[in-house]
Structure 1
Amino acid sequence: MCCTGDDLVRVLATLSNPHRVRVVAALAGGRNYVSRLARELDISRALLQVHLKKLEAAGLVSSRLELSEDGKAMKFYEVNPFSVHLTPEFLASAAETLTIEKGSPR
């Protein structure tokens, strides 16, 4: 999942939001569709969609559109397997591949 310093920064930035951590935790129990997930997390579907898009852009979750038995389109999300083991050595290695310039805002 994380191969470069830029990937690591993107993943850590994505997971720095408590809502997104809760979404990943909820999806760790299995795939789910947006409406049910929003109810379970007690957040609006609109807010959930924002967080799901960011998680998907970072490669942490993936989605698939499916038709229900009554023909209704439902978007299901699931967690992509990932692991980040942070050590000083890993961070030193990742820092060597950063393309973000020092001192520039992200």
Structure 2
Amino acid sequence: MDPDCNNSCTKEPSSPQLISSPQTNRHATGGGTNRQINLQNLENLGAQSTDSGTVPNLKWSFSDSKTKIFNGGWTRTQVVAYLLASHDLAAAQQHLKKGPVFSPKTAATT
């Protein structure tokens, strides 16, 4: 445990347990959080003592991706530019009206 920690720091649990109020700050610094996502992903809030840090986090919510709106519908794309841990994976979520065709080349250039 960090000797400079005061009450804003949390102890690392000795065994996995449910944390009712995840904390992402230390020494009064940190960033904004989404409480619901934090509660769903407690393992991402702080690495467990057994984690060697070699496995990247590939979990991504499409709600965090940019949404592009077209005349025929909308699409959300996720590529390596925004999800750096993903070298071989790209994904798209799309909603098209009846008739339009999605073109990845068009979506990538807009």
Q: TM-score range by the shorter chain?
A: under 0.3
Superposition TM-score, scaled by structure 1 size: 0.22
Superposition TM-score, scaled by structure 2 size: 0.21
1 or 2, which has the higher helix percentage? Answer: 1
**Which of these two proteins has the greater Rg computed from alpha carbons?**
2
